[in-house]
Structures are given as structure tokens and as C-alpha cells.
Structure 1
Amino acid sequence: MEFLKELGIADKNLGTSTGSNWINTTGSVINSYSPVDGNLIGSVVETDKAGYEEVIQSAAAAFIEWRTWPAPKRGEIVRQIGEALRAKKSALGQLVSYEMGKSLQEGLGEVQEMIDICDFAVGLSRQLYGLSMHSERPGHRMYEQWHPLGIVGVISAFNFPVAVWAWNSMLAWVCGDVCIWKPSEKVPLCSIACQNIVNEVFTRNLVPEGVSTIVNGGRELGEWLASDTRIPLISATGSTRMGKAVGAAVGARLGKSILELGGNNAIIISSEADLDMALIGAVFGAVGTAGQRCTSTRRLIIHDSVYDAFRDKLVNAYNQLRIGDPLDQHNHVGPLIDRDAVRQYQESIEKCKQEGGNFIVEGGVLEGDGYESGCYVKPCIAEVKNHFAIVQHETFAPILYLIRYSNIDEAISFQNDVPQGLSSAIMTLNLREAEQFLSQAGSDCGIANVNIGTSGAEIGGAFGGEKETGGGRESGSDAWKAYMRRQTNTINYTHKLPLAQGIKFDI
């Protein structure tokens, strides 16, 4: 495949990099099979302990120099990365689609997110502002400034194999940090491609070796990162179970963490919604990336008066979905990431039926021509109660739950009554309902939308959620502050030394 050659992906790849230097390690081999057709794309050698130590030492040495580069100069490097990504957008988008299984449009969209965050970070490099404050003591000046933390560990998930790394690394780099990236072992080749792109830019600009590093491996490698006192910040994206383990390990050493964990996202369909517009948001949110986004729509909370009409629209739309090769842009839905995900999908359907769920669009695994990988499933819809145990759980698959409500207070209560708190939405033309949904008594999620779905966040806003979603924030707004340490400074330019609070101390 031409896009593999363009991105420098070989049949066998080293998975450990201190930058432009790829390290031979003695780790096991990770084989990357495409969920699209089941074919082996390539292999990556895992990072062993010696390779990990070499990466850490390289990153620590690079930080000493990198932090002294002026932030706008670091921003210029990120600008060039954005240009390099523009040149490789088609190839990288195809790799994302083929290795992960999302549609080509979504693969290209993910690369566009990388480009967008580069643009954002370039501007940010001239806006790392601190505040100035008035001192209570005469002849004193107070202000705060922000300094880089050091090494940032980035643990990313399979469903966004490149964008989440970019959200973290581009901001961290303009802030003066260096990054160690541990991608999901399910999509390791995407990390090799990204490192190859970055290496070209860094080499051309004499960026210190170690500013961008990669380690590949499984759970044990993540544990090394989380427990390493030399890494002041860990940004981890994945399941709530994984996040609790990472958070506990980082917290035990008083490190900092950014946790982007599970979602159980709902759209409220009001009696005053534009049902045609709501249909687009609901269907894309539920079946986009085959339901494997942390912002995927899991629940539709629908008003009694429009329930039947909207249910019928959904069933009709689902009957028109085309499931197949995600690189074929005629298809709406690609495969799940692997057969383990298929098994979990089947188990979730069975649990839902056992609790009394009524499937109005049946699920199932697809077989035959074009489905040889065994990873293609049917998006399905079940009528349920919000308190069902399976509904309270995040199912990473295209299973959509329908729930009735009778008034807006009940709808918001249903929306909030799950352990997760990432994304939420309401479809309504009623201003009062919209404002109540966005108020202190409304959605308890980190993201709350009106008349758009739960999925598809823009990089300008801070991304993240509350409760079991972890509380972290990435990407836009002032999320950059998580990658830096705040320092308060007071300067006395007088000939006296008055103490704060009027304290007297005479010698």
C-alpha cells in the first residue's frame, strides 16, 4: 500500500525512539492486524527496560536545552509540524482508517485535528500569560509566571491513534516540555508514522534529540510511566478502570495527571426539537467510529410526545446504514477494533436482553464477503430503563439505548444519573429548556451542547469530563496550564523590608 511507504512503515519496525534514533530492544513483537480485512500490516518491537531507561535519559537531557528556547521559537517548530502533517494528511488519514478501522472521512478528520492543534499551539506560544497583582507593601511588585514541567508522559488509546497525542504534545512542546508517547498496542504503526514526520522537522531545525520520544508496549510499560518520579505529568486516555490505576500510581508519588476516561453520553430529544436535525446528530454520534469514541452517543432520552415518531425515524435511518470497508467512502460504518471488542459487544447485547431491553433494531456479527476479519457488527437499538446495569456501563460498540421522559427535570436527572460525565446534548428550540440544561442545575458533564450531538469536539475548547471521566482537560482554552508549573514572584525595590500582614520583626 502506497500510504505505508510514504509514511516510512516497514514490515518490521523498531518501536522505541529517542527522537531520530531508533533503538534495538529485546522486547516481544507486536503484530498489527487491520480490523478492515484481518491482514497483517506490520510489526513493532516492544520497548524493554533498557530501552525505556535510554528514552528517559534522552528526554531528561533534551529538556535542559529545550526549555531555554524562546516559546515563539518552539512555536515555529510546531508550525512546521503542522505543514508537514498537511503534506501527509491523505497518507496518515488512510493509515488511521486502515489500522484502527474508522471511516476514511473520520481518519482524515483526525489528522485535521492534529493540524488544527498545531495552529492553535503556534498562537499559544506567544500567549503563555501570567498575571500581575498589586502588593499590599509599598515599593513591591507581584506577578506570576509559568515554567515548563519537564517530561510529559502521554498514554493514548486505540480509538484516536494520533489526534490525542497531538493534543498533548503540541501544547507541551510550546510550553517547553518534552514528551514520551506510549500509544495503544492495538495501533502501534500510527505512532511510528507520526514520529517519522516529526523527526524530519526536528532534524532540519536542530531540535535536541529527546524532545519527542516513543515507547511501545502493553500494560507493564504504562505502569513504568505512571510510577516514574522523573515524569511530573502523565496524560492518560482510556477506560475508567485504566485511569483509576494510573491516577493511583501517579497520585502516590504526588505527580500530576490528566485523565480522559469513559463516557456514557446522552442526547435529550425535546418535544420541541427539530427532529430531522436531531436524527443526524443521534445517528452519527451512535455509529461514528462504530461507537468507539469516548464521546459516542450511548443514550437517547426522548420526550413521550415525540418518542414514537423519532423511534421510527431512527429505525428507518439504521436500515439505510452501509457497513463495510471504511476506506470505501460509500460506507457509513467500519469494523470494531478487534474480536475482543466484538465479544464484548455480543455480551452487552445479551446482558441488555436479560435485564428486559427490547431491541427494535437487532444486532449481530456480519459474515461472508468483505467481513473476513470477523470485526464487523450491526449497529443496534434497544428500548431500556436508565437504571439498567448495562446502561450504566460504557459499552464501546454501536449499541444505542432509548429512554422515555415526561418533563425536562426528569430528562436532566436521567442524563446525570450515570457514573460518567463526559459529553451531553439537548435538541430543543425552546430557549428555557436549553438554558436550564446549561445551568448549574443542568448537565453535570464537562461538555454540554445545544442542537448538536455529543461527538465531534472542536480543538478551541477544553476537552474533558467529570466524575468517572477523570476531570482532566486537554486541547483548547487554558488547558495549556496543566503542562506548566505556576510561580508567584514578589520583587522589593525599596531600601526597607516590610513584612506582609503588617507583622513587626525588629532586630
Structure 2
Amino acid sequence: MLGWRRAAASVLLLPRRAGWRPAAAMSSLLVGQPQYAWLRELGLQEDNPGVYNGRWGGGGQVVTTYCPANNEPIARVRQASLEDYEETVKKAKEAWQVWADIPAPKRGEVVRQIGDALRQKIKVLGSLVSLEMGKIYVEGVGEVQEYVDVCDYAVGLSRMIGGPVLPSERSGHALIEQWNPVGLVGIITAFNFPVAVYGWNSAIAMICGNACLWKGAPTTSLTSVAVTKIVAKVLEDNKIPGAVCSLICGGADIGTAMARDERMDLLSFTGSTEVGKQVALMVQERFGRSLLELGGNNAIIVFEDADLNLVIPSTLFAAVGTAGQRCTTARRLFLHENIHDEVVEKLVKAYAQVRIGDPWDSDTLYGPLHTKAAVKMFLDAVEQAKQQGGSVVYGGKVINRPGNYVEPTIVTGLAHNAPIVHTETFAPILYVLKFKEEEEVFAWNNEVKQGLSSSIFTRDLGRIFRWLGPKGSDCGIVNVNIPTSGAEIGGAFGGEKHTGGGRESGSDSWKLYMKRSTCTINYSKDLPLAQGIKFQ
């Protein structure tokens, strides 16, 4: 981590570096200013095409992306029109015809090269994530590293995907489980992880033999363009059609077109529960397949036997990391009544030590929210918490500085079922709640609509296995003595209930990107029927 931070100064020059003087005709866009010249290393200009299907283009609206740390414009991206969308889907389908015929291990070799290309650009691409999304530099680099890691994982997986040969009850027969790519995978990603989530999906989908069509968040369009340029160069070097990894920057009209399009064999959507529900209904209307990664109202439960040396830093990271804008962010903290006051006191002291500043500063641990709208959402949630009986014991205000900065916030005194506690607010607000018994707090963990991530802190082995069991957590991620955030790529990532039920990244998540056929082969001269049926 320290190495990443030291590298930040050489990769992302500070906006008001000492001794720097503006030129006479300074561009109004950051990309045109000398201290942001590193953006050119990613192929970014003042005006950038936002459609790639083997060639770059775009005939839709022009969108300007902004730096959340100062709300200054970075660069412009021309988004896709619906005509661009039609052309791109057609080209992606044509590219799939070529890609699907390439053996899986050779597809894995191409993905390996994508990982290597990302490694070469990891610092500068991580800097772009920090500049455009707002997360601190080490998190931006870490997000690119996650894409690299998934590429490495996918390379090995490319030699392992497939089904078993099953014993047949009939002599001279074999049962084979055959797995084939679904075809075209649409990938819609959110602003908070503008690189990693695309990596989870695309690397696995590609080794399975699928073409991909990516629509990133409009507010992180530059990151989408930069990543696609890196991937496109690898495809070009291998003489693979560029449309295998197509990009279509756009808004709700493009997302709706993808959801309703029967040519979209699988649609992976990451975003809010509200929008995810609309996507799911549109896909289901055409009997399509969707993979949903939606919200999470995640809880940490701390029992009186917990090691507080683990609890405090874990809670701080889970609640404050990425300024509370992870889907796995801890939003509820349940404390046993015997340790409640002690933990709150320690947590307030820890919050006071959080270094707030520019995301690219090597000392910063906490940056801005992504948009001005997110700041308003934060203030509204704090006010609702007060009205419902909560007490703000730390934070709760907007920070008086340029950009979208708010104070990391701790609220105590609310009921476990208060409406605001059951509302996922994508902001750094932690609701601290008391409990007495294991049974009640397990139930409180499960009473919210989402079911993404959860964690308990305890030394009791019996309690740990009850937590992991059928009457424990109902989440897709069930942790013990670690935060709710920070999942590893080797496990399947996803959640239950209103989180959508989808799984990405590791374990057997690859199966979601493929279709399965059961094949019975008769290599005998007889025709016995299953279950001993006679038909003569």
C-alpha cells in the first residue's frame, strides 16, 4: 500500500502544485492542462468518441465528466445514439462467430495479455479512476489490480470449464454435460467500481467464448473509454475482431435497449435495487437471462467477547472506505449492550483520525462523494435519522471545501427497524444499534430487504457456525472477524433477496455465462429406453 501511495505523486500531479503557473491560454478542461498531461498516456483527448465496435465513433449527446474533488470538468465524451447501438450489436454478434471458434485455452491466452496490458498502465489508469470517480488513489490502483487478478484467474479457468461425463443406466450409452457460451453478454456497470466490475464480467465471459458489450456509468465515461482502448489494442495485436469487446457509452435509453433486446443473451447489471428491478422485469418479459448485482444494507455484529483491536479498524474501513459508496459498505453496526458505549467511544476517536483530502494525495484516506446529488442524499438521510430519534455523535455535515465532501458520520439511538435504518443510503453514514441476545440480532441482520454482505465479531465457535448455518445470516457474503468489504476474487460475489441473486467472479460463477446441454450418446447397436420402458 505504501508503495502505491509513493507512486501517486509521480503519476498524478497535484492540481495546485507549488511553483506551477498557468499558461496564458489554459484549457477549461483538466485534460488540456499541463499537470494532467498523463491522461494522454491513456489516449484521452478533450473530445473522445464513446462507441467502440472495431472502430471508434458515436453520434449521440456529448457528456462532460467532472472531478468530484473540485467539480472541475475533465473531458468530453460523445455517447451512443440508438443507431450506434444497433450497429454495435450487429458487429458484436458477427465477432462472436469468430471468437466462439477459438479454443478456450487460446481465448485464455488473449485474456492473459489483457491482464498484462493493464499491469503496464495500472498507475495511470488507477489515477484516472481517482480523478473521475473520486476514490483515493490506492483504491483506484487496487481496482485495476482486481481486474488484473481476475484475468489471471480466468486464464487457468479456461483449461477447466466444462461438465462431467456421467454414468448411464443403459449399456453402450454415455451421458455428457456440454457447456457452450451464451453468445453476447451485455454488461452495465455502476460509477463506484468503473473498472473492476467490468473485469469480473468480461474476463470470465470471454474465456467462456462470449462477446461482450459494455455500458459504463455516464459519469465515469472516460474510464470506460480508457479501459476499452487497452483491451482493443490486445485484440488488434491478436487479429481478433475488436467488437468482441464492444463499448457503448450512453444513458437510460441505451440501458433500456439492452434490457429489451432479444439478441442480448445475458445481461449483467450492477446498480441500484430500484433500477435493477426495472431491468429484471424487462429482461424477463422476453424470457431472457440476467445477472443482477444490486444494493446492500450490510451489517456488522459485535459480541461482548469480540477482539476490539479487530473491530475498530474493520468497522472504520467498511463504513468509511470509498466514502461509503461500496455496495458492501457497512451501514449498520450492532453492538452488544455491555460494550456499546466503549466501542462507540473508540470508534469516534478513530473517525477523528481519518485524513480527508484530495483523492490523489498520498496521505488521504477519505475522499469526496461522486456527485452533488449524493451530497444532498447524505444530508437528507442525516435529517431523517434525527427526526426518527437518532443522535449524530460524529459528523453529519458538509465539509467547507471545493468538491463533494461530507463528514463521515455515526448515528446512535435509533431503533433497529427505523425506516432510515432499513434504507440503503449510498453515503458514509453508520447507524449504531444495541442488542442483547444472539437470536434477536441475527434476525435484525436479516430483516432488511437486501442480502449482500454481513459480518460478526466473536470468539465463540458455536456462534460462528450458527451464523454460517441455515438460521444465521441470509446474505451472499457471510464473514467472521473481518469487515463486510474487501471480498476476494476466488469466491463467488453476490447477494440474496433484493440484492438480485447474481454471482460474479470466482467459484462456479462462470456457469452463468454459459448454457448447459445434457447429451446422451448411444455407441451400441441396441436401443434400450430409459427406466426400462418397453415400446414395441
Give the TM-score taking structure 1 as reference length.
Answer: 0.98
> In the alignment, what sits opposite 1:502?
532
| Structure 1 residue 349 corresponds to structure 2 residue 379 | no
User: What displacement does 1:2 show?
Assistant: 3.4
Partner of residue 359 from structure 1, selected from 363, 382, 392: 392
1:453, 1:49 → 2: CA distance?
Answer: 42
In structure 2, C-alpha distance between the alignment counterparts of 1:259 and 1:209, rounded to whole Å = 26
Q: Choose from 471, 476, 482 the match for 2:506.
A: 476
| Aligned twin of 2:326 | 293
Task: Say whether residues 1:121 and 2:154 are aligned partners.
Answer: yes
1:410 & 1:327 partners in 2: Cα distance?
43
Aligned match of 2:350: 317
Q: Distance in 2 between matches of 1:443 and 1:406?
A: 17
In the alignment, which residue of structure 2 is the partner of 1:486?
516
1:97-246 paired onto structure 2 within 5 Å: 97-246=130-279
SS of structure 1 residue aligned to 2:57: coil
Name the SS of the counterpart of 2:421 in structure 1: helix
Alignment partner, residue 23 of structure 1: 57
Partner Cα separation in structure 2 for residue 430 and residue 275 of structure 1: 15
Structure 1 residue 3, shift from structure 2 partner: 3.0
Q: Partners in 2 of 1:186 and 1:422 — Cα distance?
A: 25
Q: Distance in 1 between matches of 2:527 and 2:467?
A: 53
CA shift, 1:151, in A, is 0.4
RMSD after superposition: 0.8
495-504 or 49-58, which deviates more: 495-504
Q: Which runs of 4+ in 1 moved over 3 A?
A: none
Aligned: 1:391 with 2:421:
yes
Q: What letter is aligned with 2:457?
A: M
2:39 and 2:440 map into 1 onto residues whose CA distance is: 51
Distance 1:346 1:209 in 2: 44
1:406 counterpart letter in structure 2: K
From 35, 42, 47, the equivalent of 1:12 is 47
Aligned-pair CA distance for 1:437: 1.0
- Greater displacement, 408-417 / 397-406: 408-417
Contact 2:300 2:455 in 1 (8 A): yes
1:51 aligns with 2:84: yes
Which residue matches 1:381?
Answer: 410
Q: How far did residue 410 of structure 1 move?
A: 1.5
Inter-partner Cα distance in structure 1 for 2:97 and 2:408: 51
Identity %: 50
Given candidates 414, 432, 435, the residue that maps to 2:462 is 432
**Matched residues in 1 for 2:448 and 2:146: separation?**
29
Whichever residue aligns with residue 22 of structure 1, its letter is W
Aligned partners of 2:83 and 2:395: how far apart in 1?
50
The letter of the residue matching 1:451 is N
State how far apart, in whole Å, the 2-side matches of 1:345 and 1:209 are. 41
Moved more, 162-171 or 430-439: 430-439
Amino acid at match of 1:351: Q
Q: TM-score normalised to the size of structure 2?
A: 0.92
In structure 2, what is the Cα distance between the partners aligned to 1:90 and 1:362? 32
Verify the 8 A CA contact 2:58 2:79 in the aligned structure 1. no
3-state SS of 1:490 partner = strand
In 1, Cα distance between the equivalents of 2:425 and 2:319?
A: 11
Task: Tell me: CA distance 1:386–1:133, structure 2 relative to 1, closer, same or farther (3 Å).
Answer: same
Amino acid at match of 1:4: L
CA distance, structure 1, for counterparts of residue 202 and residue 38 of structure 2: 24
Q: 2:479 aligns with which of 449, 459, 466?
A: 449
Q: Residue 276 of structure 1 aligns with which residue?
A: 309
Question: Distance in 1 between the 2:196 and 2:286 partners?
Answer: 28
In 2: Cα distance, 1:37 partner to 1:84 partner: 30
Q: What secondary structure does 2:517 align onto? A: strand
1:463 and 2:493 matched = yes
- Report deviation, 1:209: 3.0
2:430 to 370, 394, 400: 400
Q: Which residue does 2:444 correspond to in 1? A: 414
1:274-302 CA-to-partner distances (Å, cap 9, x unmatched) read 11211111001001000000000001000
> Helix, strand or coil: the match of 1:153?
strand
Contact 2:232 2:242 in 1 (8 A): no
1:260 Cα deviation from its structure 2 partner: 0.2
Residues 221-269 of structure 1 show CA distances to partners (whole Å, capped at 9, x for unaligned) of 1000000000110000000001100000011111111000000000001
Instruction: Give, as a single letter, the amino acid of the residue that structure 1 aligns with 2:244.
Output: V
> Are 2:301 and 2:333, in contact at CA under 8 Å, matched by a contact in 1?
yes
> Structure 1 CA distance, aligned partners of 2:58 and 2:200?
28
Q: How many residues align?
A: 500
Secondary structure (helix, strand or coil) at the match of 1:391 reads coil
Q: In the TM superposition, what is the alpha-carbon distance from 1:315 to its structure 2 partner?
A: 0.7
Residue 24 of structure 1 and its aligned partner are, at CA, apart by: 3.6
Gaps of 5+ in 2: 1-35
State the shift of 1:362 in Å: 3.0
Cα distance in 1 for residues equivalent to 2:91 and 2:410: 50
Deviation at 1:404, TM superposition (A): 0.4
Question: 2:176, 2:38 → 1: CA distance?
Answer: 50
Is the CA contact 1:3–1:94 (under 8 Å) kept in the aligned structure 2? no
Q: Is the 8 A contact 2:58 2:81 kept in 1?
A: no
Contact 1:351 1:390 in 2 (8 A): yes
